[in-house]
Chains A and B, each alone.
Chain A
Amino acid sequence: MNGANFCGRTRREFLCQAGNGFFGTAMAYMLARDGFLGSARANAPAAPVGPAKACIFLFMAGGPSHVDTFDPKPTLTRLDGHNHQFPTIGLTPGKSGILKGSPFRFPRRGQSGLPISDLFPELGSCADDMAILRGSYADSHAHGSATLQMNTGFIRQGFPSIGSWAYYGLGTVNQNLPGFVVIVNGPPYSGAQNWSSAFMPARFQGTVFGQGRDTIANIRSAGNVAAEEQRRQIELLNSLNERHLTGAPQSSELAARIASYELAFNMQAHAPEATDLSRESEETLRLYGIGNGQPSDSFGRSCLTARRLVERGVRFVQLFHANWDTHGENDARHRQLCGQTDRPIAGLLKDLKRMGLLESTIVVWAGEFGRTPFAQRPGPNAGRDHHPTGFTTWLAGGGIKGGIAHGSTDEFGYAAVENRTHVHDLHATILHQFGLDHERLTYRYNGRDYRLTDVEGNVIREIATQG
């Protein structure tokens, strides 16, 4: 199994033989830099070079409506209330429904003049940084499998998440924080499977960060042990472990586990700092819509935390916002949901930009699918149903061209018809921006070299600055 035979093995052996003091900081650092134990790379190119160094994936769990947000459909609005028969597409059988036009306006924004719904007034001002994929499509209209697909590439359970793939391909640069962090504002369907490393080693799984003091699970002592006391405990632990190590001096694993406690202790000090927003200026907090009981407060905090993590070298930050599953009251719910996320996302893009981080940070916005152009339970409180055959995702930063819309759906927003981009294409593009070739980043499991993109996927070169 490739995973167990990382090239780091011999180097660790070397390190262990070379170092007499197993607690040397250099070794701890090297172990840490290598993903705590061994190199995180296997079949990845030796040193991936791409414009993106980090990714913030904003996942809108439940499936946001594309025709109300980023994909204006005047025809749909004009024919609002009419019955329409839609054709069969792939696995989705044809159906008829009462068309439901969007009540929202789509003003042209920025120099590019990209139309973005007035549900996103703040985000609209970032239009020139965004590449909007209006011809997105996916394979499932059930939440569980569709969510898995957007996060792991497969509609089946049991595959590593995109964050795990990125971490596996690139390793991490910060020894005090995990390389792949997950922040959950609202739970996604299929739960922890969405950030599982599946058949890859567990160290590539996402680490869930909470807000406030409980940054990472177990970051605080369950016994409320003070730091000074912990320091003494770790000192004793170290001396016991070093005595034990003399019984198997060749074991790099034992040495790595000793180092992991020092790292944990550092993480205890640094992780809360990474999520501590109290040092951020008033102006920054406002930018993200944080404070004063605003509806955007919670997601704003997550977005700002994401920026702080990326700033500190975390490779992949996955944010989950819920619940976009608007079977009823689609319009009112979208007002509410967009209100919760508009300022935070716009703030994130603007903040990354002014800090010079947007060039190296790819920001992705996607749900597991879009929503139907026809009404569910027609009437004043109509909803929209799940819709994978044509929807919108968008990217910004990390070498992605701004101010462009790529691909399109038909005049109703039902089927992706032109420059269609499958979830695999989106994934291939994200890896590409990291300098990773989605066809070569593989992991051998049960007789097969698995990829994030299965056997599909084309990089969407039209939206990348470097093609």
Chain B
Amino acid sequence: MIRSVALACVVSSLLCGVPAARAGAGVEFFEKKIRPVLVDHCYACHSAEAARNKKLRGGLYLDSRAGIRDGGDSGPAVVPGKAKDSLILKALRGQNDLSMPPKGLLPENVAADFQRWIEMGAPDPRDGATKKSVAKIDVDAGRAHWAFAPLKQPKEPGVKKSSWVRTPIDAFLLARMEAAGLAPAAEANPRTLLRRVYLDLIGLPPSPEDQAAFLKDPSQQGFERVVDDLLSRPQYGERWARHWLDVVRYAETHGYERDELKQFAWRYRDYVIKSLNDDMPYDQFVREQLAGDELPGADSRTQIASTYLRLAPYDSIAANRQVAQLDFLDDTLGTTSVAFMGLTIQCARCHDHKFEPISQEDYYRVMNVFAPLNTNTTAGEVGNDREKAEILKGLPVWEAEFAKVGGGFDALRADILARADFASGKLKMPPKERDDYVAVLRTAPAKRSKKQEELLGLQGTRRLEETLKQIATPDEKKELARLEVDVKALLARKPQILQGYAAGELGSNGPFKSSGKKGELPMIHLLIRGEYNKNGAPVALGVPTILGDGPKSPPSPAGKSSGRRRWFAEWLTRESRPLLARVMVNRVWQYHFGRGLMANANEFGLSAGSPSHPELLEWLAHDFESNGMRLKSLHRRIVLSSAYRLSSRHANPEADLGAALYSRWEPRRLEAEAIRDSLLAVSGRLNLKMGGPSISPPIDASDIIVGASSGLGWQKSDEAQASRRSVYVFAKRAIPLPEFRLLGMADPSVSTSRRVVPTTAVQALVMFNGRLVHEQAGALAKRLVAEVGDQPENQVRRLVELALCRDATAEERQMLARFLAEHPRAGQRDVGGVPVALQSLCLVILNTNEFVYMN
């Protein structure tokens, strides 16, 4: 699978530049004191033999004079005459984070021998030239890679069965099928196709009404209307946002021990949904995520887009803060490179990439882009001056209104409190405290002292409320309640500047330090073996060499920002546009068909091979580009093809294993989120409210399996909230929603390019026994009774129509009705009057392959 064109292993003889030491006392010392130690304790990892056994560490050879003096990744091991500069001595003494041998230091007298030997000039008779294998990066081969080349528009191939071809996509696919002697399968029946496109585009099944409407006109025009309708529904953005959130490993917490909230990170999720619904050009989507805070005309929306840069896990109480910050930036760089460019640059953090022409220097070139980012974990205000002014403009009006309503509330409370009768002894509040409360309530809010403000809190205290209840008349209580509702409503719409989790740069909060001069950017050094404290040579800002030389002009700083991310994003969406387009169209294709034209949607490098249908991928990318990188056009292109309409039944399925040639539709299981959404849709409980803070569907206490403070942050939402779409479920790294975890979710710590669906007994258990499915089965049964009454025949018809989106066959109707009639608890009803047997049947239908598969 790995093509090794990129890496040429060049064997270079490292010739010794120092005259061979003559035999003498020095050499005798070497033979007696030094060589035995090297052989016994060092050669296992630092010799030509170690290299042959793939055991060589740190690129260091200690089995020749040349090797020991040239040194490895960290520098020369021995500098003759200079004990202080000889790393081997530091390692033997366990200084400067070096400690060798790894199993434990040797006695000090050994180190002393080495010191003496080095001071003698390190006489060393070992003439043998070390064969050091050096991996040479072949940049030219890299730049010639198909994925980086300018976009071409391939010619549509000629095919025999041209009547099948609806779109150029079909021609490309059919040509390959015909070459393999294959014919495409028949078309799926209209309702199968309808359910397919609903689940695919909006992640929800079509309602019986949707089905009936389509059956009236199942023609291509009718299908086009359906597709346009679906693409215009807001649920489209919710469905496709989930795909993107997989790729960028979206989560709302930091992970690790504390797993604290990334406050307002959910606004990014809403940004993605809205951008998709607005059909934002993909290049703009990319620029905003990478540099939404730096772009000209930045506003709250683009700033929120830049939350992307702060999604990585972060160990807030790491043993070493600098390492945690580096890991955070590394993760950001790595995710950016796979998500947008399909390149695994992250591999080059510690050494040159083993499978790609990407050097370690390339990694640090690109690290320059991200290094100035703040790695702190605080949320802040978003919005530009204009937006902020717009919001604050409303403040005086609000304040006047609040003074009126709030003033009335305060006055009434003061009056009631002033009548307090302490003689009864029933009041808990002492007179002095009462007096204080009355005083504050009779002082205008603006004139209250700090102490008074603290006493009253935002709206009052529990203690005040209790005392008021004790004194007030029934009428007054009513009035208090009414006023309180008004006050709360007013407070809720107090004009406030938006809070968000946008990216920012200050230059001092990252692991790479600047000289300390104000405004100076951090200097990036190559880190030897990726270790935070092993600075190599400085590396200047740049792009991966295989993708060209990068922009000629340097970044232009804006405000507090270096402008580097804008510089990078503009290069990426201009010069590297063909790659950007190819990577994205492949993702979209994969989500539609369940299989990408490139096997791994995150890998487009030289080792990733070529697409299964190179010309098709090229055509799609070209088409995407000529449509202004708009996803909705791309979706239309794909779902309106003949290939998309195929049945999963084929006369000769063996000839096309896994439907690699697209000669049939390969059924695939819905993602955990789409299963949950479908369950809710079918049961009638689905709440389509969009956006806002995340929801927390109920989970068992036993599912909160984390130590210390990590259990925080899982509030129980009420049923209506808990019935919202899965994309809104709280994405907490330490506590995934159990249903998602068991049915297979994207691990929010890593970029997921494609869901691998588990088929395990544990997964069957959650569907068959779990609370979620039982609840929805109950709700569905209730819905059936409400919609079609008590006749089993009608219930069965409606059930199949709702859940499986088709008519039940006569045989099925009989089978299901028999199940109801012969049910052990036939005739029993639950407390809500819903037949138990019907619930039992609903559970079975919701467990069928047909329900959880896109057929």
Task: Tell whether A226 is near chain B: CB-to-CB under 8 Å.
Answer: yes
**B840 A229 Cβ-Cβ under 8 A:** yes
Q: Output the least CB separation between B253 and chain A (Å).
A: 11
The stretch from A109-117, A253-261, A352-360, A375-383 touching chain B is A253-261
Task: Tell whether B761 is near chain A: CB-to-CB under 8 Å.
Answer: yes
**A250 B761 Cβ-Cβ under 8 A:** no
A residues in contact (CB < 8 Å) with B: 1, 3-4, 9-10, 13, 17, 36-37, 61-62, 89-92, 135, 139-148, 155-158, 176, 178, 184, 186-193, 196-199, 201-203, 205, 207-208, 210, 214, 216-223, 225-226, 228-230, 232-233, 236-237, 239-241, 243-251, 253-254, 256-258, 260-261, 263-264, 266-268, 322-323, 388, 407, 416-422, 439, 445-448, 455
Q: Among A13, A90, A210, which residue has its beta carbon within 8 angstroms of that of B702? A: A210
Which chain B residues border A249 with CB–CB below 8 Å? 649, 653
Contact A229-B823, Cβ < 8 Å, known A189-B257, A218-B766? yes
**A192 B734 Cβ-Cβ under 8 A:** yes
Which chain A residues border B144 with CB–CB below 8 Å? none
How far apart are the CA atoms of A184 and B706 in the complex, in Å? 10
Q: Among B315, B707, B756, which residue has its beta carbon within 8 angstroms of that of A202? A: B756
Across the A-B interface, the 3 shortest Cβ-Cβ residue pairs? A447-B344, A144-B257, A158-B749
Most A-side CB within 10 Å, residue of B94, B315, B761, B845: B761
Task: Tell whether B38 is near chain A: CB-to-CB under 8 Å.
Answer: no
| Beta-carbon nearest neighbor of B102 in chain A | A420
| Beta-carbon nearest neighbor of B756 in chain A | A201
Q: Among B257, B603, B735, which residue has its beta carbon within 8 angstroms of that of A447? A: B603
Give a binary string over B814-855; 1 marks a CB under 8 Å from any A CB, 0 the rest: 011001001111000000000000011101110111101101
Contact A233-B103, Cβ < 8 Å, known A143-B707, A248-B648? no
Starting from the known contacts A144-B256, A217-B770, A407-B104, 4 additional A-B residue pairs (CB-CB under 8 Å) come to A90-B97, A187-B707, A245-B849, A447-B603
Most B-side CB within 10 Å, residue of A10, A17, A188: A188
Contact A260-B764, Cβ < 8 Å, known A202-B744, A221-B769, A253-B667? yes
**A1 B824 Cβ-Cβ under 8 A:** no
**A221 B774 Cβ-Cβ under 8 A:** yes
Q: Output the least CB separation between A375 and chain B (Å).
A: 21
Q: Among A158, A197, A447, which residue has its beta carbon within 8 angstroms of that of B355? A: A447
Which chain A residues border B810 with CB–CB below 8 Å? none
B residues 311-339 near A (Cβ < 8 Å) are 313, 315, 317-320, 323, 327, 331, 334, 338
Task: Tell whether B121 is near chain A: CB-to-CB under 8 Å.
Answer: no
**B763 A248 Cβ-Cβ under 8 A:** no
How far apart are the CA atoms of A189 and B315 in the complex, in Å? 12
| Beta-carbon nearest neighbor of B771 in chain A | A222
How far apart are the CA atoms of A323 and B604 in the complex, in Å? 46
How far apart are the CA atoms of A190 and B316 in the complex, in Å? 12
**A253 B759 Cβ-Cβ under 8 A:** yes
| Beta-carbon nearest neighbor of A36 in chain B | B760
**A190 B255 Cβ-Cβ under 8 A:** yes
**B764 A157 Cβ-Cβ under 8 A:** no
Which chain A residues border B294 with CB–CB below 8 Å? none
Contact A140-B319, Cβ < 8 Å, known A158-B747, A447-B347? yes
Q: Using a Cβ–Cβ cut-off of 8 Å, how many residues does chain B contribute to the interface with A?
A: 117
Q: Among A91, A144, A191, A421, which residue has its beta carbon within 8 angstroms of that of B315? A: A144
Which chain B residues border A216 with CB–CB below 8 Å? 762, 765
Contact A145-B257, Cβ < 8 Å, known A223-B774, A417-B105? yes
How far apart are the CA atoms of A198 and B344 in the complex, in Å? 18
How far apart are the CA atoms of A16 and B617 in the complex, in Å? 32
**A193 B603 Cβ-Cβ under 8 A:** no
Task: Tell whether B768 is near chain A: CB-to-CB under 8 Å.
Answer: yes
| Beta-carbon nearest neighbor of B324 in chain A | A145
**A240 B844 Cβ-Cβ under 8 A:** yes
How far apart are the CA atoms of A134 and B752 in the complex, in Å? 40
Task: Tell whether B622 is near chain A: CB-to-CB under 8 Å.
Answer: no
| Beta-carbon nearest neighbor of B765 in chain A | A218
**B850 A263 Cβ-Cβ under 8 A:** no
A-B contact pairs, 8 of them (CB 8 A): A155-B315, A157-B256, A158-B249, A178-B760, A240-B815, A240-B845, A247-B648, A447-B353
Which chain B residues border A201 with CB–CB below 8 Å? 756, 758
Most B-side CB within 10 Å, residue of A141, A158, A447: A447
Q: Among B256, B654, B735, B761, which residue has its beta carbon within 8 angstroms of that of A17? A: B654
Q: Among B257, B327, B668, which residue has its beta carbon within 8 angstroms of that of A156? A: B327
How far apart are the CA atoms of A165 and B319 in the complex, in Å? 26
| Beta-carbon nearest neighbor of B351 in chain A | A455
Q: Output the least CB separation between A269 and chain B (Å).
A: 11
How far apart are the CA atoms of A407 and B853 in the complex, in Å? 55
**B648 A158 Cβ-Cβ under 8 A:** no
Which chain B residues border A193 with CB–CB below 8 Å? 255, 733-734, 749
Contact A142-B734, Cβ < 8 Å, known A240-B844, A264-B761? no
Task: Tell whether B741 is near chain A: CB-to-CB under 8 Å.
Answer: yes
| Beta-carbon nearest neighbor of A5 in chain B | B599
B residues in contact (CB < 8 Å) with A: 54, 94, 97, 99, 102-105, 249, 255-259, 313, 315, 317-320, 323, 327, 331, 334, 338, 343-344, 346-347, 350, 353-356, 599-600, 602-603, 605, 607, 647-650, 653-654, 657-658, 664, 666-669, 702-708, 710, 733-736, 738, 741-742, 744-745, 747, 749-752, 754, 756-766, 768-771, 773-775, 777-778, 812, 815-816, 819, 822-825, 839-841, 843-845, 847-850, 852-853, 855
How far apart are the CA atoms of A261 and B704 in the complex, in Å? 27
**B759 A196 Cβ-Cβ under 8 A:** no
**A233 B844 Cβ-Cβ under 8 A:** yes
Q: Among A158, A218, A232, which residue has its beta carbon within 8 angstroms of that of B750? A: A158
| Beta-carbon nearest neighbor of A210 in chain B | B702
Contact A257-B103, Cβ < 8 Å, known A156-B313, A193-B255, A251-B648? no
Q: Output the least CB separation between A25 and chain B (Å).
A: 15
**B669 A446 Cβ-Cβ under 8 A:** no
**A190 B334 Cβ-Cβ under 8 A:** no
| Beta-carbon nearest neighbor of A454 in chain B | B350
Q: Among B759, B766, B771, B777, which residue has its beta carbon within 8 angstroms of that of A37? A: B759
**B756 A251 Cβ-Cβ under 8 A:** no
Q: Among B99, B603, B649, B742, which residue has its beta carbon within 8 angstroms of that of A248? A: B649
Which chain B residues border A196 with CB–CB below 8 Å? 747, 749
Contact A203-B702, Cβ < 8 Å, known A229-B825, A264-B764, A268-B765? no
Which chain A residues border B822 with CB–CB below 8 Å? 232
Which chain A residues border B666 with CB–CB below 8 Å? 248, 251
Most B-side CB within 10 Å, residue of A62, A218, A241: A218
How far apart are the CA atoms of A236 and B603 in the complex, in Å? 43
Contact A190-B734, Cβ < 8 Å, known A218-B766, A251-B648? yes
Which chain A residues border B104 with CB–CB below 8 Å? 135, 407, 416-420
Which chain B residues border A416 with CB–CB below 8 Å? 104
Which chain B residues border A250 with CB–CB below 8 Å? 650, 653-654
Which chain A residues border B602 with CB–CB below 8 Å? 446
Which chain B residues border A261 with CB–CB below 8 Å? 761, 764, 768, 847
**B769 A219 Cβ-Cβ under 8 A:** yes
**B770 A218 Cβ-Cβ under 8 A:** yes
How far apart are the CA atoms of A139 and B327 in the complex, in Å? 14
Which chain A residues border B599 with CB–CB below 8 Å? 1, 4
Q: Output the least CB separation between A90 and chain B (Å).
A: 6
**A91 B756 Cβ-Cβ under 8 A:** no
Which chain B residues border A10 with CB–CB below 8 Å? 657
Q: Output the least CB separation between B377 and chain A (Å).
A: 14
How far apart are the CA atoms of A254 and B763 in the complex, in Å? 14
How far apart are the CA atoms of A60 and B167 in the complex, in Å? 61
| Beta-carbon nearest neighbor of A249 in chain B | B653
Contact A144-B258, Cβ < 8 Å, known A223-B839, A261-B764? yes
**B763 A260 Cβ-Cβ under 8 A:** yes
How far apart are the CA atoms of A136 and B666 in the complex, in Å? 51
**A140 B759 Cβ-Cβ under 8 A:** no
How far apart are the CA atoms of A178 and B763 in the complex, in Å? 11
Contact A419-B749, Cβ < 8 Å, known A191-B735, A447-B356? no
